[in-house]
Amino acid sequence: MDNARFDRTASEQVLLERAREVVLEHPRPLGRAFTKTELQTIFRKLAPTGYLASTLPKKSGGYDLTPIAFSAIVEGLSPELTLLGNHSVQRYLHQFATGAQQKRFMPDLLEGESIGAIAITETEAGSNLERIKTVARRIGSSYLIDGEKTWVTHGMSANVFVVLASTEAGLTRFLIPGNTPGLEREALQTVGLGHLTFARLTFRSCEVPVELRLGAEGEGLKGSKAAFPIARVLAALQCVQITRAALEIARSYAVSRVVARTNLFESSLIQHGYSQLLGRCEAAYLLCLRVSLQLQADNAVPNASAAKAIAGDLGLEACRWVEDLLGVSSLHADHPLLRLCGDVRMMGVVDGTSALNHLVVARRLLSAEGSAK
């Protein structure tokens, strides 16, 4: 049981608390997303924690954070600043970029001056990347990129995008600065995560020099599967935080609400519902800690996928239960529960829906070949 873990270490708790301090200093705006300037201020504040470098080694400008230490920062930011992101592009640069590419893009990203975004998803290509229709055609020393990406987090604020497109050799990654001619952005209206911008990107003969190809042609999927476990467990952890916040709203309401001269919390029906959800929440949290400690294990993908599916389903169920408990009290447009409900609906889809992640678990553990992604 060397990897048994039931709570945060002292050093991880420090990181978590520093993240919470940033949240308190920069509360989530009501009715709008953070502006680019506001995001840059938040990222500058987070830079000393190592958040923007995630788990990069010191030789690449990182802090040598372990995955579980990095997850403590993510936990501290949730649920107020769920899916804050802006650390994935750095990992792509570390793994695939040339020295010149790293010199051009990495410093500003690590300092919080620049905002990066990943543009992979398309209307007909989410988990099934073989259906990607965005095309990059080599013409001399440049590529012309045509196509469309959707649901790009920070899409309206990003300075640089990592874009996955199809070439003659196969799927290939490109670094595309936000001011590249031919790149158009359209804001998407969402049901949750309103503190962030999501965008549809359209590429119309967008010319990108060969120097901004990220890795070799046809290597666009290289290393992608290795990112699944950490991405899914971080999403799961944020769903757990949303669940905790929803249950705290329920607890506070039940303690103060009087029905037929009795506090609502004295109802055995309410006690049972609350206890069951809280127990499942703590179990999901422990699974997240375990997966964070074992990201290199053979079963990391199914375990992380299980954590994401369980936590996502639990968050939705908890929010629905709290809605029923509160009744008309939660119908005000500015009630905090509505924000949590919207956020958990969005997080249920991030890094794979629950249906997809359950499928990954089943295929990995039931198939002799273990061929699921």
Asked which of 115-129, 206-220, 236-250 is least confident by mean pLDDT, the reply is: 115-129
Which tens digits make up the pLDDT trace of 157-171?
999 999 999 999 999
Does residue 33 surpass a pLDDT of 60?
yes
Between the CA of residue 258 and those of 33, 247, 265, what are the distances in Å?
37, 18, 9
d(Cα 82, Cα 241) in Å, to the nearest integer?
9
Nearest to 157 by CA among 114, 203, 214, 106: 114
What pTM was computed for the model? 0.94
CATH number for the domain spanning 185: value is 2.40.110.10
pLDDT at 3: 64
Q: Give yes or no for a cis peptide into 79 (omega within 30° of 0).
A: yes
Between the CA of residue 191 and those of 306, 309, 320, 332, 348, what are the distances in Å?
25, 20, 15, 16, 12
Residues 293 and 361 grouped into a single domain: yes
Residues 234 and 359 grouped into a single domain: yes
pLDDT at 369: 52
Is residue 219 assigned to a domain? no
The average confidence (pLDDT) of the chain is: 94
Q: How confident is the model at residue 2 (pLDDT cuts 50, 70, 90)?
A: low
Cα torsion 303, 304, 309, 313 to 10°: value is 110
CATH number for the domain spanning 313: value is 1.20.140.10
Which tens digits make up the pLDDT trace of 302-330?
999 999 999 999 999 999 999 999 999 89
pLDDT at 211: 98
Is residue 348 assigned to a domain? yes
Q: How many domains does the chain have?
A: 3
Residues 306 and 242 grouped into a single domain: yes
Residues 71 and 107 grouped into a single domain: yes
Domain end residue (candidates: 76, 111, 146): 111
- Tell me the angle at which helices 88-96 and 99-111 cross, rounded to the nearest 10 degrees: 160
Residues 104 and 134 grouped into a single domain: no
Residues 183 and 268 grouped into a single domain: no
Does residue 81 surpass a pLDDT of 60?
yes
Buried residues in 87-122 as b, exposed as e (16+ CB within 10 A): bbbbbbbbebbeeebbebbbeebbebebbbbbbbbb
Q: Look-up: residue for tokens 């249950």?
A: 247
Residues 243 and 349 grouped into a single domain: yes
Does residue 26 surpass a pLDDT of 90?
yes
pLDDT at 264: 87
Which residues in the chain belong to E strands, given as ranges? 116-119, 135-139, 142-153, 160-167, 170-177, 183-187, 198-209, 213-214, 258-259, 262-263
Residues 266 and 204 grouped into a single domain: no
Which tens digits make up the pLDDT trace of 270-299?
999 999 999 999 999 999 999 999 999 989
Residues 201 and 295 grouped into a single domain: no
Is residue 5 assigned to a domain? no
Residues 35 and 20 grouped into a single domain: yes
Does residue 233 surpass a pLDDT of 60?
yes
Residues 187 and 256 grouped into a single domain: no
Residues 15 and 104 grouped into a single domain: yes
Domain end residue (candidates: 195, 214, 233): 214
Domain end residue (candidates: 196, 214, 232): 214
pLDDT at 46: 98
Q: Which domain holds residue 192?
A: 116-214
DSSP structural state of residue 219 = -
Does residue 1 surpass a pLDDT of 50?
no
Is residue 1 assigned to a domain? no
pLDDT at 372: 46
Identity at 82, one-letter amino acid code: T
Q: Are 232 and 304 in contact (CB under 8 A)?
A: yes
Is residue 4 assigned to a domain? no
